[in-house]
Structure 1
Amino acid sequence: MTMIRALAGDDVPAVTAIYAHYVTGGVATFDETPPGDAEWRAKAVAVAAAGLPFLVAEADGVVAGYAYVSQYRPKPAYRHSLEDSIYLAPGHTGRGLGRLLLGELIRRTSATEARSLIAVIADGGDPASRRLHAAFGFEEAGRLRNVGFKHGRWIDTLLMQLDLR
Structure 2
Amino acid sequence: MSGFTIRPAVEADLPALQRIYAHHVLTGLASFEETPPDLPEMIRRWQAIAAAGLPYVVAVATEGGEGGGEIGGYAYAGPYRPRSAYRFSVEDSIYLDPRFVGRGLGRILLQRLIDDATALGKRQMIAVIGDSANLASIGVHRALGFEMTGTFKAIGFKFGRWVDSVLMQRALGPGASSTPTN
Q: Distance in 2 between matches of 1:78 and 1:11?
A: 29
Task: Report deviation, 1:96.
Answer: 1.1
Asked whether the 8 Å contact 1:71–1:79 carries over to 2, the reply is yes
Larger Rg: 2
Q: Distance in 2 between matches of 1:117 and 1:155?
A: 22
TM-score (norm 1): 0.97
- Of 54, 57, 74, 1:55 maps to 57
Structure with more strand by fraction = 1
TM-score (norm 2): 0.88
Aligned residue runs from structure 1 range 9-158, under 5 A = 9-59=11-61, 60-123=68-131, 125-158=133-166
CA deviations on 1:66-116 (whole Å, 9 max, x unpaired) are: 000101111221111110000000111011111111111111010112110
Task: Report deviation, 1:119.
Answer: 0.2
Q: Distance in 1 between matches of 2:74 and 2:117?
A: 15
Q: Distance in 2 between matches of 1:77 and 1:110?
A: 17
**Count of aligned residue pairs for this structure pair:** 165
Asked whether the 8 Å contact 1:68–1:84 carries over to 2, the reply is yes
Q: Distance in 2 between matches of 1:91 and 1:29?
A: 18
Root-mean-square deviation (CA, aligned residues, Å) is 0.9
Asked whether the 8 Å contact 1:148–1:155 carries over to 2, the reply is yes
CA deviations on 1:20-55 (whole Å, 9 max, x unpaired) are: 001111111100110111111111111111111000
Stretch of structure 1 that moved more, 38-47 or 131-140: 38-47
Runs of 4+ in 1 over 2 A off after TM superposition: none
